[in-house]
């Protein structure tokens, strides 16, 4: 539908505030805007960036109308993006302005990059030549453009040398063109050496990318089967067609490893997009994506809201990863929204995982997605030999958590000069502290979960809400001194046990609360990769993406952990996590071993991992959910909850928010991904129920359901996402 846009006096504008409809703004006579134009508008006392909408605005008093201040000098968002905003708003029950806000996350990028002043050679030659001048002229020949201080530094001279040359007309002032954020990737840079399986799978994906148009392919291949190289074939095809490519990665996996693999294949790095990108870089990436200067973006979930002009392919790597879910403000699953974006814009979507989620498997089984499987590990990367250690038959020594079998294997591995990884998904020293005299258990005053002892810090922490207190000497209940006992293991405690068995081995603990933050963590990981540790004890952050080249033993301290928390996804999650962790071994070419300590070696999760028969596990899981009245998908009932005031409604929302994600099982409320929306009069709150809800919260919700809507104003809780109908 092409038509000349008539002069509009008033246009609808999506402002980043939670209103149901766009606001109306007057368009000054000398201004032209189209739907998608990014504009600066006055809103109350401030000026903010907003998007001209194609949806009708609500009625407004003409006296309130204010004019658009300016149109930003950047390309308007394409219609596809506007439809994407509207779709997400509707699906997630979020005000459209709040969704639009996600497209405006790089405010400074809305204006063109400030021009950078540089200098360039002229035809003139200097009157006298000196050593310093010679160096400057030599360096100036290299590179694509120099700033005055840049050239001086590169030539190792002071800026006055350059000023002298400039005074003679040897250099002149110019404005440097904006520098591309990354080099152009070359699809033919290096032809990969693929196995027969990879070639077959790669051909399917390449065809999808070449043909274009919407379609979803689930690329399912065990760790080390070379999934990445396979979807790179599709990426190459899209680049050849001159289209843009978005590769989504779980946040933690934005590691050097991926970027380097990409560079090996394409000769240049992809543009990165994630939360700790420096602001400058962020702006440049945003702008160059909008101007179709960037071919490939590798990013975390927020990259989904970059203003691509000509997207030709979306890849979601590790599609099962829970970090694709955003749980604040706008609640969405980036994996699902990637499929939606592909659908709206007519792009192929590749979902890749070694352990696909149940819902993606189900969608593939139903024929909604195409499925391509890579059965074997590639080349020299042999699978580790996997086994369970039955803790009933091989119990740890009193007060310990390592079975003799595991200790023996650690010893052997260490003697061979190889590395061991001990995995326990629990931070701190002990998950429960109690008083041996009176039985007092340390509980969080705010949310009633056990306080976890962190011995290195001397604190008791609530892992649920972040509450912290100093670890006391005496029992706060009966006053007894020295009778507090730690129950159960955390990584710190395992480290203690490791030191007692292997005092001469170099051991290290890695968890997200490591003192020194992310930077320290990165350093430690590098040190481990260089072989500077013998025994690594870590939480789930060691499961992702790092290559420990000398690792030949993975011991899972408590493989049962997480199976009994009532989460309907418990088995699936445990399976995914343990597969990933044991996959850390066996990348060396050497013989390697993965051992799962468990009290239930016959549990389907253990059997699936040990036997490698994942197909049976998936079938069983799907059937299990159906039996429990939790089909993998399905529309869920709404719940009416009453609240008299905004404060009360907010209180409910906060309470739900704090305890919802990843907690114990929700049966009344249905499967894991159900988003709840609380709507109280004009106030509206949402949250995503990920793992399920704790029993006390279920009771709370049930009570509210019974209470029914309040005549004074109500909070409505809705749970009605239906993944089957999300297209």
Enumerate the known binding-site residues for Zn(2+).
Answer: 435, 438, 444, 447, 462, 465, 475, 478
Q: Which of 16-24, 298-306, 481-489, 705-713 is the region at the interface with DNA (rule: CB under 7 A)?
A: 16-24
Q: Which of 136-144, 163-171, 383-391, 640-648 is the region at the interface with DNA (rule: CB under 7 A)?
A: 640-648
Helices (H), 468-516: 491-501
Contact 276/270 with Cβ under 8 angstroms? no
- Among 52, 77, 98, 238, interactor with DNA by CB under 7 A: 98
Annotated binding site: 435, 438, 444, 447, 462, 465, 475, 478
Residue 167 neighbours by CB distance under 10 Å: 9
**Whole-Å CA distances, 479 to 312, 414, 440, 453, 473:** 67, 45, 10, 19, 9
**In the sheet where 296-299 sits, what is the strand order?**
271-273, 296-299, 244-248, 311-316, 348-353, 215-221, 370-374
User: Is 44 near DNA (CB under 7 A)?
Assistant: yes
Minimum distance of DNA from residue 245's CB (angstroms): 31
- Among 31, 34, 43, 257, interactor with DNA by CB under 7 A: 43
Beta carbon nearer to DNA, 506 or 646: 646
Positive or negative torsion for Cα 266, 269, 273, 276? positive
From its phi and psi, is residue 597 left (phi > 0), alpha (psi between -120 and 50) or beta? beta
Beta carbon nearer to DNA, 25 or 423: 25
Minimum distance of DNA from residue 20's CB (angstroms): 10
User: Is 677 near DNA (CB under 7 A)?
Assistant: no
User: Is 645 near DNA (CB under 7 A)?
Assistant: yes
Minimum distance of DNA from residue 646's CB (angstroms): 5
Furthest-apart CA atoms within the chain: distance in Å: 94
Helices (H), 212-250: 227-240
Query: At 41, which helix (H) or strand (E)?
Result: strand 38-43
Per DSSP, the three-state class of 314 is strand
Beta carbon nearer to DNA, 64 or 627: 64
Contact 228/261 with Cβ under 8 angstroms? yes
Q: How many residues bind DNA (CB under 7 A)?
A: 25
Beta carbon nearer to DNA, 426 or 684: 684
Q: Which of 15-23, 368-376, 379-387, 434-442 is the region at the interface with DNA (rule: CB under 7 A)?
A: 15-23
Minimum distance of DNA from residue 688's CB (angstroms): 15
Burial category of 562 from C-beta neighbours within 10 Å (exposed 0-12, middle 13-18, buried 19 and up): buried
Minimum distance of DNA from residue 17's CB (angstroms): 4
Residues within window 313-342 making contact with DNA, judged by CB under 7 A: 329
User: Is 17 near DNA (CB under 7 A)?
Assistant: yes
Beta carbon nearer to DNA, 14 or 460: 14
Residues within window 56-95 making contact with DNA, judged by CB under 7 A: 57-58, 60, 64-66
From its phi and psi, is residue 229 left (phi > 0), alpha (psi between -120 and 50) or beta? alpha
Q: Which of 42-50, 213-221, 353-361, 515-523 is the region at the interface with DNA (rule: CB under 7 A)?
A: 42-50
- Among 9, 42, 112, 394, interactor with DNA by CB under 7 A: 42
Residue 117 neighbours by CB distance under 10 Å: 11
Which residues are near DNA by CB under 7 A? 16-19, 23-26, 41-46, 57-58, 60, 64-66, 98, 329, 645-647
């Amino acid at each position: 539908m092409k038509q000349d846009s008539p002069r509009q006096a008033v246009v609808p504008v999506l402002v980043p505030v939670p209103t149901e409809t766009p606001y109306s703004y007057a368009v000054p006579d000398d201004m032209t805007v189209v739907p998608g134009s990014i504009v600066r508008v006055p809103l109350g006392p401030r000026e903010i960036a907003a998007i001209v909408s194609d949806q009708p605005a609500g009625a407004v008093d003409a006296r309130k109308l204010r004019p658009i201040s300016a149109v930003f000098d950047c390309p308007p968002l394409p219609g596809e993006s506007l439809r994407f905003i509207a779709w997400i708003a509707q699906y997630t029950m979020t005000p459209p302005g709040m969704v639009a806000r996600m497209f405006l996350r790089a405010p400074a990028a809305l204006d063109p990059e400030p021009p950078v002043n540089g200098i360039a050679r002229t035809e003139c030659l200097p009157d006298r030549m000196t050593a310093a001048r010679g160096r400057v002229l030599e360096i100036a020949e290299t590179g694509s453009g120099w700033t005055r201080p840049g050239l001086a530094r590169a030539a190792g001279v002071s800026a006055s040398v350059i000023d002298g040359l400039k005074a003679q007309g040897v250099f002149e002032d110019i404005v440097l063109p904006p520098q591309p954020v990354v080099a152009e990737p070359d699809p033919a840079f290096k032809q990969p050496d693929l196995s027969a399986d990879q070639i077959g799978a790669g051909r399917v994906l390449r065809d999808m990318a070449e043909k274009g148009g919407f379609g979803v392919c689930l690329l399912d291949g065990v760790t080390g089967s070379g999934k990445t190289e396979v979807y790179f074939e599709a990426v190459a095809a899209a680049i050849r067609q001159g289209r843009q490519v978005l590769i989504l990665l779980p946040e933690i996996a934005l590691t050097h490893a991926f970027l380097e693999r990409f560079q090996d294949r394409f000769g240049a790095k992809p543009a990165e997009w994630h939360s700790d990108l420096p602001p400058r870089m962020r702006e440049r990436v945003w702008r160059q994506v909008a101007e179709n200067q960037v071919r490939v973006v590798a990013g975390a979930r927020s990259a989904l809201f970059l203003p691509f002009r000509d997207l030709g392919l979306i890849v979601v790597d590790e599609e099962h990863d829970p970090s694709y879910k955003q749980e604040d403000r706008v609640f969405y699953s980036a994996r699902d929204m990637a499929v939606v974006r592909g659908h709206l814009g007519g792009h192929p979507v590749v979902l890749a995982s070694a352990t696909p989620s149940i819902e993606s498997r189900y969608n593939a089984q139903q024929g909604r997605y195409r499925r391509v499987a890579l059965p074997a590990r590639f080349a020299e990367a042999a699978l580790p030999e996997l086994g369970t250690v039955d803790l009933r038959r091989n119990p740890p020594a009193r007060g310990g958590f390592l079975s003799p079998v595991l200790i023996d294997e650690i010893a052997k591995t260490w003697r061979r000069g190889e590395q061991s990884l001990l995995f326990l998904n629990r931070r701190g020293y002990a998950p429960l502290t109690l008083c041996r005299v009176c039985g007092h258990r340390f509980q969080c005053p705010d949310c009633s979960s056990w306080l976890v002892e962190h011995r290195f810090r001397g604190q008791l922490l609530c892992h649920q809400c972040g509450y912290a207190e100093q670890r006391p000497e005496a029992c706060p209940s009966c006053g007894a001194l020295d009778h507090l006992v730690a129950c159960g293991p955390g990584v710190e405690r395992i480290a203690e046990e490791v030191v007692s068995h292997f005092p001469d081995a170099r051991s290290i603990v890695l968890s997200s609360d490591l003192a020194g933050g992310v930077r320290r963590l990165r350093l430690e990981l590098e040190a481990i990769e260089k072989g500077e540790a013998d025994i690594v004890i870590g939480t789930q952050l060691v499961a992702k993406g790092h290559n420990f080249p000398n690792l030949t033993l993975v011991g899972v301290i408590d493989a049962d952990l997480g199976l009994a928390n009532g989460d309907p996804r418990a088995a699936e999650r445990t399976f995914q996590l343990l597969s990933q962790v044991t996959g850390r071994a066996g990348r060396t070419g050497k013989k390697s071993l993965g051992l799962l300590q468990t009290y239930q070696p016959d549990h389907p999760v253990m059997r699936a991992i040990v036997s490698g028969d994942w197909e049976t596990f998936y079938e069983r899981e799907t059937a299990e959910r159906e039996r429990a009245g939790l089909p993998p998908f399905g529309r869920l009932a709404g719940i009416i909850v009453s609240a008299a005031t905004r404060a009360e409604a907010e209180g409910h929302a906060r309470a739900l928010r704090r305890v919802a994600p990843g907690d114990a099982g929700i049966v009344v409320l249905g499967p894991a991904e159900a988003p709840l929306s609380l709507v109280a009069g004009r106030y509206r709150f949402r949250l995503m129920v990920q793992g399920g809800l704790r029993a006390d919260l279920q009771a709370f919700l049930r009570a509210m359901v019974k209470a029914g809507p309040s005549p004074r104003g109500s909070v409505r809780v809705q749970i009605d996402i239906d993944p089957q109908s999300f297209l």
